[in-house]
Amino acid sequence: MPHPNDPTLRSFIPVDPASDFPIQNLPYGVFSTAAMPAPRVGVAIGDYVLDLWQLAQDCRIDMVEPGVFAAPSLNPFMALGPNVWSRTRARISELLRHDHAELRDNEKLRQRALVPMADVKLHLPIAVAGYTDFYSSREHATNVGVMFRGKDNALQPNWLHMPIAYNGRASTVVVSGTTVRRPRGQLKPPGAEVPGFGPCKRLDFELEMGVVVGKPSVMGEMLTEQQAEEMIFGFVILNDWSARDIQQWEYVPLGPFQAKVFATSISPWIVTREALEPFCVPGPVQDPVPLPYLRQTRPHNYDLQLDVALRAAGMNEAATICRTSFKYMYWSSVQQLVHHASSGCAMNIGDLLGSGTISGPEKDQRGSLLEISWNGTEPVELPGGIKRTFLEDGDSLVMRGWCQGDGFRVGFGEVEGTIVG
């Protein structure tokens, strides 16, 4: 049987070369329909969702109990472990192949199992156990450091020695399409003697990728590179909404708190680590060489293109404000996971790790408005003469990401969020 990543595979379902969801991808999500409102597990293929519960009911995926796919999250499926993830993906690939008759020629099953994407509602794909946000782009950390501490002290002394992070909130991780209420908080503008309480005036986004942990680790035990890699079920695009003015007043000495906990949006489809494997590339050279527990023996970065588009209130179409790549990240997701468990911290099924804002070396590769507008001093100019330094009510932000294969792309769809007052 050909490997599901084989670039020559074709599905009997027509897939546009510009689609995010060719047979080489097969990302997992949770969906419902008006006719069947119970959320269940599906896989995206072209303009369709393949209903895995229907296939399992029909005994087409024999390594997984149908009930696992009737769950409103992927956690029960992830709990079956990497071996089952891989075998299930291979089986789904086989069922969708143009030269495999089993589903292709079974009209009744096709009618039940293939749902037009336009008819589904997509839900949060995982029950988020914990959410941790890293800070692993050297370009982002440097930009922020230059703005707040000057060029000579841009990177903190610890930054090149370990992946820096804070613990975020799982309770407010939401799926693409969820509106985001402008946060309120303590604000102390420059010059003010005492803080006040009110709506955030410097609302920002952060372009990130999120790792979905699919396999737990044991409290008290460290992880090897190999173990950490095997625990990664897949990736989503993540928008770590940030209230810069709240952050600036509250972050000393324990780091961000209310500035980050009001909302984190993720894309609905989890692209598996296996599907991304062909796009692995080496990351930047790490100098100084990391401590032995953080060293990598093989590449764990991805050649994954990202863009961010802003449709400011009053605009008909979104305008691209950032184009960058996940490949620039200094610390890889595997290193983040190894470091996360290194003290003895247990990782759980459904843990979500934000990569940190992804910025590249060029000006148009900055992954936050804080950087794009250089702390509000250089407004971004949008079509129609509209300018923005930070997000206003009614603004809608869309992030997209994909890996370009030969004649197909392994994509993530999008994560969208609109700000309301």
- Minimum CB separation of residue 137 from Mn ion in Å reads 10
- Minimum CB separation of residue 341 from Mn ion in Å reads 20
Site map (CB under 5 A) of Mn ion, residues 113-142, x = contact: --------------------x---------
Task: Please pick, from the candidates 51, 204, 225, 240, the single residue that binds Mn ion as defined by CB under 5 A.
Answer: 240
Question: Based on CB atoms, which residue is closest to Mn ion, 93 or 357?
Answer: 357
> How many residues appear in the chain?
421
* Residue 295: count of CB within 10 angstroms of its CB: 12
Contact partners, residue 301, CB within 8 Å, separation at least 6: 280, 281, 282, 283, 326, 327, 329, 332
Question: Based on CB atoms, which residue is closest to Mn ion, 93 or 355?
Answer: 355
Whether 140 is catalytic: yes
The pair of three-digit structure tokens given for residue 29, joined into one six-digit string: 């999500």
**One of 100, 123, 140, 300 is an active-site residue; which one?**
140
Q: Does 351 sit near Mn ion (CB under 5 A)?
A: no
Question: Based on CB atoms, which residue is closest to Mn ion, 325 or 357?
Answer: 357
Name the 3-class secondary structure at 260: coil
* DSSP per-residue string spanning 390-416: SB-TT-EEEEEEEEE-SS-EEEEEEEE
- Minimum CB separation of residue 157 from Mn ion in Å reads 21
What's the half-sphere exposure (Cβ side, CA atoms, 13 Å) at 283?
21
* Span of 11-19, 201-209, 321-329, 334-342 interacting with Mn ion by CB under 5 A: 201-209
Question: Based on CB atoms, which residue is closest to Mn ion, 93 or 373?
Answer: 373
Task: Please pick, from the candidates 139, 204, 206, 225, the single residue that binds Mn ion as defined by CB under 5 A.
Answer: 206
**In angstroms, rounded to a whole number, what is the distance separating the alpha carbons of residues 421 and 416?**
17
- Minimum CB separation of residue 416 from Mn ion in Å reads 18
Please say whether the beta carbons of 380 and 368 come within 8 A: no
Longest dimension (CA), the chain: 74
- Minimum CB separation of residue 43 from Mn ion in Å reads 29
**In angstroms, rounded to a whole number, what is the distance separating the alpha carbons of residues 31 and 125?**
8
Question: Based on CB atoms, which residue is closest to Mn ion, 133 or 230?
Answer: 133
Residues catalogued as catalytic = 140
**Footprint on this chain of Mn ion (rule: CB under 5 A):** 133, 206, 240
